[in-house]
A and B are shown apart, each in its own frame.
Chain A
Amino acid sequence: MLVLSGIVIIVLGFMVRLNPLLVVTIAALATGIAAGLDPVAVVSAFGKAFNDNRYVSVVWIVLPVIGLLERYGLQQRARTLIADLRGATVGRLLIVYLIARQIAAALGLTSIAGHAQTVRPLVAPMAEAAAEAQMQTGRTADEETREEVKAMAAATDNVGLFFGEDIFIAIASILLIKSTFETYGITLAPIELSVWAIPTAIAALLIHGARLMLLDRRLGAR
């Protein structure tokens, strides 16, 4: 039971808003020590895992390119493009992005979009421009509206990715399900698993799409 101390530390740490890096490290140390490892062994295990997981942080190499293009007005251009498009709304824009992201992910193309690659430089500024266009004439988007629209752009990227990728047979999560079940002598082909990702993918599109349409209605009333 003591090994659960790490989970308690994480929940409490996030609640009192300590620095999350600090919370995670303390949780790792407490968990390891509760499991009977000596502190040096825990630090070593943590260090080895950090080194093995470096690929997670590789994505930041896109920032020099994105920043450079922003310097020359990429976000402004994304806004203009949407502002010139008649009938563009936040909801319609994000529904199109949601569908495109789901289809691309279902074909295994998960890293062609993302928060650093597409949401910050393109989708979020486009959504902001659409929000301004659809609000009642003469109104500009206030701080709260901007926050809501940008957060929804990021949320849409996540929903599209999560509920598209499992339709692809060679994605990590499908392979994990297959290999986990194999240890119990249950053999499944990846395709048997991935077809069962389709109903949830459709439900995700309907639920999130409906929320985006409701967002359009709320913005139109502002």
Chain B
Amino acid sequence: MIGLPALYTFAGLVFAAFALGSLRDRSNARRLGNAAFWGLLSLSFLAGDRLGDLGNGVLVLCLVGLAGAGALGSGTPKTTSPEERTALSARLGNRLFLPALIIPVTALVGTLAFKAISVGGAPLFDPRQVTLLSLGIGVVLALAVSMLWLRPPPLAPIEEGRRLIDSVGWAAVLPQMLASLGAVFALAGVGDVVGEIAGAIIPEGNRFAAVAVFALGMAGFTMVMGNAFAAFPVMAAAIGVPVLIVGMGGDAAVIGAVGMLAGFCGTLMTPMAANFNIVPAALLELKNRNGVIRAQIATALPLLAVNLVIIYIFAFR
């Protein structure tokens, strides 16, 4: 069965290629730092399951040390100039979109169809991971088609990929790091303590105040944790279940579903949700690291208010 290990091996090889490409890029004064950073990430993908928990922990500390010490620079891989690109795009026309569309189309087809493919009674693809696996297959297909059609220099995909990953830099592992922080928070019982505090500030019997603390608490705690999934069990335990559902007889479906969406409004407003807010700012080469968050606040706040009102009205019909 093809599962995550195959995908991780592929990703490990991609990061290894970035590391080697960085190493031989003499235009980057900090090329050793870049090579070490992507090399360690490659090691994590290729051999993470064999390093042991402490080994992985030390690997993470090394990644953080490199980033914290400012050891990463930005390479200048050889690429085409803006003028050449304009000329090439005029010559190649709209066909240029086709390889780019292979990735989403494969993801779409794979998500729908891969579960049905089986060899000798066993599924060919791990059914729990079809989406990620079809993303990986889409990348391989798109890469193969582009290489055959455009015939770039053989190392071009690595060099072009390195150009983009260097513009993201250390922020590339921030989402994974934040997910790991969530696990440590859960281990230490941070959620229970926050829940006790939130539960203690509701005035007795005031329905609007209880709904407001629940919805705003979802958004606020999500902003701190960077993830509504971490906030939901905590706020459900502190307020959602004991106060709103059991105490006041509210509709659990409305409270659960809309409470989670109130949390998503918090996701739009926090740098802790790095993969949605910080990474795109880097990918789009924005000057302001918080530019995406700034663009989202005026949508998130009114929408949070709407969620609060939906719970207040429809959970207590």
Which chain A residues have a beta carbon within 8 Å of chain B's beta carbons?
Answer: 1, 3-4, 6-7, 10-11, 14, 19-22, 24-25, 27-28, 31-32, 34-35, 37, 40, 42-78, 80-81, 108-113, 115-122, 124, 143, 147-148, 150-155, 157-159, 162-163, 166, 172-174, 176-178, 180-181, 184, 186, 188, 192-197, 199-200, 203-204, 207-208, 211
Which of B28-36, B116-124, B205-213, B248-256 lies at the interface with chain A? B248-256
* In the complex, B63 has a CB within 8 A of chain A: yes
Q: Within the complex, which residue of A25, A153, A162, A177 is in contact with B257, where a contact is CB–CB below 8 Å?
A: A177
Which chain B residues have a beta carbon within 8 Å of chain A's beta carbons?
Answer: 4, 7-8, 10-11, 14-15, 41, 44-45, 48-49, 51, 53-61, 63-64, 67-68, 70, 79-80, 82, 84-90, 92-94, 96-97, 99-100, 103-105, 107-108, 111, 131-132, 135-136, 139, 142-143, 146-147, 150, 152, 156-165, 168, 170-185, 187-190, 193-194, 224, 228-229, 232-233, 236, 241, 245, 252-254, 256-258, 260-261, 264, 267-268, 271-272, 274-281, 283-284, 286-288, 291-292, 294-296, 298-299, 302-303, 306-307, 310, 314
**With the chains together, A37 CA to B53 CA distance in Å?**
15
**With the chains together, A76 CA to B133 CA distance in Å?**
30
The answer on a CB contact under 8 Å between B165 and A74 is no
Q: Shortest 8 CB-CB distances between A and B: which pairs?
A: A67-B160, A73-B89, A47-B57, A47-B56, A64-B161, A49-B183, A35-B188, A43-B57
Q: Is the interface of B mostly helix, strand, loop or mixed?
A: helix
The answer on a CB contact under 8 Å between A208 and B299 is yes
- How far apart are B216's CB and chain A's nearest CB, in angstroms? 16
**With the chains together, A208 CA to B158 CA distance in Å?**
38
The answer on a CB contact under 8 Å between A112 and B108 is yes
Q: Which residue of B lies closest to A193 (CB)?
A: B257
**With the chains together, A51 CA to B4 CA distance in Å?**
12
Chain B residues whose C-beta falls within 8 Å of the C-beta of A56 in the assembled complex: 175-176, 179, 275
**With the chains together, A112 CA to B130 CA distance in Å?**
13
